Amino acid sequence: MTNTEREDIWQNDFVLLMEHLRQTDRQETPSVGKSPKQLIYKENKLRLFRYNALNVTQKRTPILITYALVNRPFIIDLEPKRSLVMRLLEQGYPIYLVDWGYPDSSDCFTSLNDYINGYLYRCVQHVKRDTNKKKIDLLGICQGGVFSLCYSALHTQDIRKLVTLVTPVDFHAEGNILSHWTNNMPPNILANASGNVPGELISQLFKTLKPFQLSREKYRHMEHLIAKKENLDTFLRMEHWLNSGPDLTGLAAREFLIDFYQKNRLYNNTLTINEEAVRLKNITCPVLNLYASQDHIVPLAATRALADHIKPTLYHEHALQGGHIGAFTSLKTQSKLIDALTNWLG
Amino acid sequence: MTSQTDHVFEQLNKLMGSSMPDEYKEILKNFHEQGVFYQRLIQHTDKHSINDVTFWDLPSTLGFNSSDTSQPDWFTSLNSGQFQEEKNASEQLNDVFKGIAEKTQLAVEKLQNNISDINKLHTELSQLAMAKFNTLQNETVEKSSEQLCTDWLKAGEEAFNDMSQRDDYIKAQHTLLETLSEFKNTQQTTTEQLSHALGFPSQQTIQDLQKGLQQLRIEFAEYKEQTATTIKKLNTRLGKK
């Protein structure tokens, strides 16, 4: 193929892409997070949702899902086909979701203690009351997994089973580029005038981990997008998610940077929250650690290090094919993820 | 430039000025920019080797040197969006805050030196990537454009992976951040003194208010939680009776 022929193909594809995006039914980004749900609790920017049960036999113990502060949680319900929430509802699990919301300058002194012993604590109590259960299951994803580990170590009486998904534990494990970069970083440098760390900065930081792949390569191919409306919708939803990250509250970001990335305190057994020691060995519930085999944000060693601290009789792990996000959004991995979860949770 | 290219540009420009959602405009802009980039890459590859390091220039890869965006939004927001304006403000207030203005000037010079150091490392990264690319192309039997793009990507990511874990690269980044931090502290001092001179609330006062609001929110939430727990307990007892 000559260069001119290749250029013609690209231009034709690009014209088609423009036409697809110009169509009147596309005047709004495809909807995300649309599985039906009820708001059952709100506090400041935080929202706690209960998803509507499907007409299947219901499991007894509810699952509370906590996602990271750095991105919006609708990634777990991106679209009907790629919805971890929907797959769990289909299995009869009562599902609750914590949405941390978009913090503003008035939240810049929100600490990790406020998130874990405040917001998350009260969400857990609400789910317990809502379901008449003394203990619930907690599913933490990425940073939400870190919070869930801390919570389970501090509030053992609340949690029946804990699932961590793509969750870092040893922040100094080999291959953790983010840890290399943030070591010795002045903790206040990332905050802007609002006292918070801009979401765009975090997004840029993650993009910089694979700069050529994430900035150029992903925009090279258009064929699959113009071939099928569904493919373009998924792409648009994912772009929307990538570009809608909230700011991080200044204090919690500083604490996370110092205690986790710089001092590796969770792994080193030196973490304290609100003057209380957080020790992973104190976790008394069974733990399932799900990790992604091609995770460029949380290396395998960083997440599998959880096994060093949890009693072997309580600890289980399971590898998922894919990257940090693909592990729970990819159609290929989804059924394996659900099998692993249902087999273990019961 | 062909008429087809003109047609594409014309359509794209029209859409950029239309009421299309900004998210779509951004996506189209990205596809267009990268399409132009890859076409240039393919055209410049002469007998499967390249002698232009700019194809792996990190700042432009990340969109920092784009023709229509001088700085990404997050960079301007990082420094309260006042980098240039603050310098002007410092100049205007030179008589009042001469010492601070000098400090600012020094910080700006230091910042420029740090950026220059980082730029040298980025050039080294581009050279490393180019060498890797040429080696990959020489080793590759398949000489298609697809393979060329695959090799470009592999060379870039490998070079970045090597460079990003090097001590001198990490040190240069930290030095830059430390300078930015010093610069920010100088800015804060200036703002604080200016606020004081003009009778505005100090940063400390604002922070005290933010902390007070935070504390009030927590106390209210804890009170609500305690009330809900008590009601639940009472309901349970009543239910048993």
pLDDT 10s digits, A166-217: 999 999 998 888 888 888 888 888 888 889 999 999 999 999 999 999 999 9
Q: Is the pLDDT of residue B146 over 50?
A: yes
Give phi and psi for B72, each to the nearest 5. -65, 155
pLDDT category, A341, cuts 50, 70, 90? very high
Would an 8 Å CB–CB cutoff place A26 in contact with chain B?
yes
Q: How far is CA A60 from CA A45, A346, B60, in A?
A: 30, 10, 54
pLDDT tens digit sequence for A302-338:
999 999 999 999 999 999 999 999 999 999 999 999 9
Q: What is the mean pLDDT of chain B?
A: 82
- Is residue A262 over pLDDT 90? yes
The pLDDT of residue B178: 84
> Do the chains contact at A217 and B20, CB–CB below 8 Å?
no
CA distance A168 to A177: 13
Say yes or no to pLDDT of A140 above 60.
yes
Q: Which of B77, B73, B69, B71 is nearest to B33 (CA)?
A: B69
pLDDT band at B197 (very low <50, low <70, confident <90, very high): confident
Closest alpha carbon within chain B to A201? B74
Of B79, B170, B221, the CB nearest to A43: B221
> With 80 as the cut, is the pLDDT of residue A128 above it?
yes
Cβ of B74 within 8 Å of Cβ of A204? The answer is: yes
For residue B48, the model assigns a pLDDT of 66
Q: Exposed (0-12), middle (13-18) or buried (19+): which is B3, by Cβ within 10 Å?
A: exposed
Q: SS3 string of chain B?
A: CCHHHHHHHHHHHHHHCCCCCHHHHHHHHHHHHHHHHHHHHHHHCECCECCCHHHHCHHHHCCCCCCCCCCCHHHHHHCCCCHHHHHHHHHHCCCCCHHHHHHHHHHHHHHHHHHHHHHHHHHHHHHHHHHHHHHHHHHCCCCCHHHHHHHHHHHHHHHHHHHHCCHHHHHHHHHHHHHHHHHHHHHHHHHHHHHHHHCCCCHHHHHHHHHHHHHHHHHHHHHHHHHHHHHHHHHHHHHHC
Yes or no, beta carbons of B61 and A10 under 8 Å apart: no
Whole-number pLDDT of residue A305: 98
| SS3 state at B112 | helix
Least CB–CB distance from B35: residue in A14, A192, A208? A14
Query: Which pLDDT value is given to residue A331?
Result: 95
Whether the per-residue pLDDT at A107 is higher than 90: the answer is: yes
Global pTM reads 0.90
How far CA A334 is from CA of A88, A144, A230, A234, A337, in Å, comes to 11, 20, 18, 15, 5
DSSP 3-state of B143:
coil
pLDDT at B6: 77
Catalytic residues of A: 142
Residues of B in contact with A184 (CB under 8 A): 174
Which residues in chain B have Cβ-Cβ distances shorter than 8 Å to A213? Answer: 153, 157
DSSP code, position A38: E
Residues B221, A200: C-beta atoms closer than 8 Å = no
Contacts of A110 in chain B (CB under 8 A): 214
> Mean pLDDT over all residues of chain A?
95
Closest residue, chain A, to B39 (C-alpha)? A7
Closest-CA distance of chain B to residue A304, Å = 22
Task: Look up residue B183 and give its two tokens.
Answer: 């610069």
Q: Do B218 and A7 touch (CB under 8 A)?
A: no
By the CB < 8 Å criterion, does A9 face chain B? Answer: no
Tell me: the pLDDT tens digits for B13-45?
999 999 888 889 999 999 999 999 998 998 888
Tokens 């495809």, located at residue: A30
Q: Which whole number is the average pLDDT over A66-94?
A: 97
Chain A, 213 to 252: residues with Cβ < 8 Å from chain B are 213, 215-217, 219-220, 222, 236, 239-240, 243
Inter-chain CB pairs, A–B, below 8 Å: 171
- Chain A interface mutation, best of B82, B157, B187, B223, highest count of A Cβ atoms under 10 Å: B157
Closest residue of B to A108, CA-based?
Answer: B210
Tell me, what's the pLDDT at B57? 92
pLDDT at residue A112 in the model: 98
For residue B155, give the chain A residue with the closest CA.
A212
Phi, then psi, of A132 in degrees rounded to 5: 55, 40
Helix runs in chain A, H state only: 3-22, 84-90, 112-113, 121-131, 143-154, 177-182, 199-208, 211-215, 223-227, 229-242, 250-256, 300-304, 326-329, 331-345
| Residue from the list B15, B164, B181 with its beta carbon closest to the beta carbon of A18 | B15
Among the ranges A11-20, A315-324, B94-103, B132-141, which has the highest mean pLDDT value? A315-324
Mean pLDDT score, A72-82: 97
Give the pair of three-digit tokens for residue A15: 């014209």
Element (H or E) spanning A163, and its range?
strand A159-165
Contacts of B165 in chain A (CB under 8 A): 177, 180
Instruction: Give pLDDT, residue B91.
Output: 56
Q: What is the pLDDT confidence band of residue B88, given thresholds at 50, 70 and 90?
A: low
Q: CA-CA distance, A179 to A176, in Å (whole number)? A: 5
Q: What is the mean pLDDT of residues A287-315?
A: 97
What integer pLDDT is reported at residue B81 of this predicted model? 40
CA-nearest of A284, A272, A340 to A162 is A284
| Chain A residues within 8 A of B152 when measuring between CB atoms | 212
B142 vs B174, residue with greater confidence: B174
Average pLDDT estimate for A119-124: 98
Region B71-96 average pLDDT: 49
